[in-house]
Amino acid sequence: MMEQDYYELLGVSRGADPHTIKAAYRKLAMECHPDRHGGCQQQEAKFKAISEAYDCLRDPQKRAAYDRFGKAAFQNGGGQDPFGSAGFNDFSDIFSSIFGDFMDRQGGQRANPARGADLRYDLELTLEEAFAGKEATITTDALASCATCEGSGCTSSENCANTCTTCNGAGRVRAQQGFFVVERGCPTCRGSGQVIADPCRACEGEGRALNKRKLTVKIPPGVDEGTRIRVAGEGEAGLRNGPNGDLYIFVHMKRHPVFAREGTTLVADCPVTFTTAALGGTIDLPGLDGERIEIKVPAGIQSGEQLRQRGSGMSVLNGRGRGDLVARILVETPTRLSKAQKKLLAEFRETETGDECPAAKGFFGRVKDMLGA
């Protein structure tokens, strides 16, 4: 029976680099492992074949010999059987081969002290404060370095900590779950690699205790609802002098009595009398910088039209300049009229020709046509 070529078994070219060969093998091993096929003998044979091929091609010396002589290089004393003692007997061996170097490097190092948790603080600002920026003083309740033991977690500096026997000081343990090898923090030492022999009574060996503190934070101009500000190292203290977490400030905006905000644009709904809309005039708005903004209303403006004032809006976050201010005109019909006002309006109506309001004339003209009047 003709023996199948190792390269063909893995589906790679003869010039494939080690990374490509490894990736091809890992994919095939996952697909045809017999445990995934109910112990199918055909799949088991295929799995052994691709494992034999990979064991040969991953070794530069074996690969060179195979390229010159084929499998004959390993027969009749020419070399060890590629799948024998050097092969893969179960699925965990696959992961040891593929990921072993990386995991061994990680496990061989002592674990870093556990980092403290990040904190969240919700800060409410007025529109004026968001426009100008401010220095906000906030108070947090968080785990801070223990003052009694200075964060070490020990009662005394002598014979303070022993190497954790569960993880041998690595701070991590491995466990196989089905097809996968899972690495997680050691539950005994909580990832520190050490166990406190004589824990500090104030913090019970953690090296940190709950503490209230005040912090001044600079809020930049232009922040908006949902803006997140990161303050590095101002979160909870790490376990036994581990690095601190970070503080994240989430900005929330108070409702403004005049302006709504759309990014860097400020929008104000401005009711005007129908006489101002007809004859024109001016309206004054308060700028967020304290300056009064005068907006000219042209004669004949319609309800819903917008008047834009360039450069009078919000500050640009982490940038220069300002957005725009938009006055949205809402023409208000009077609801309380004196007799004199009613008389004047009645006289005005007598002089109307319909050309004063072309939109109304056109609309009711179409209605009239539809009604056949």
> What phi, psi does 212 have (nearest 5°)?
-100, 135
Find out whether 164 is annotated in a ligand binding site. Answer: yes
Asked if residues 103 and 231 have their Cβ atoms less than 8 Å apart, the reply is: no
Find out whether 160 is annotated in a ligand binding site. Answer: no
Which among 105, 106, 115, 244 is positioned nearest to 190, based on CA atoms? 115
Which among 268, 261, 273 is positioned nearest to 284, based on CA atoms? 268
Name the helix (H) or strand (E) containing 286.
strand 281-286
Find out whether 32 is annotated in a ligand binding site. Answer: no
Find out whether 270 is annotated in a ligand binding site. Answer: no
Find out whether 40 is annotated in a ligand binding site. Answer: no
Task: Look up tokens 């003692």; give the residue.
Answer: 85
Find out whether 203 is annotated in a ligand binding site. Answer: yes
Q: What is the 3-state secondary structure (H, E, C) of the chain?
A: CCCCCHHHHHCCCCCCCHHHHHHHHHHHHHHHCHHHHCCCHHHHHHHHHHHHHHHHHCCHHHHHHHHHHHHHHHCCCCCCCCCCCCCCCCHHHHHHHHHHHHHHHHHHCCCCCCCCCCEEEEEEECHHHHHHCEEEEEEEEEEEECCCCCCCCECCCCCCEEECCCCCCCCEEEEEECCEEEEEECCCCCCCCEEECCECCCCCCCCEEEEEEEEEEEECCCCCCCCEEEECCCCCCCCCCCCCCCEEEEEEECCCCCCEEECCEEEEEEEEEHHHHHHCEEEEEECCCCCEEEEEECCCCCCCCEEEECCCCCECCCCCCECCEEEEEEEECCCCCCHHHHHHHHHHHHHCCCCCCHHHHHHHHHHHHHHCC
Binding-site annotation, residues: 146, 149, 164, 167, 186, 189, 200, 203
Binding site listing for Zn(2+)? 146, 149, 164, 167, 186, 189, 200, 203
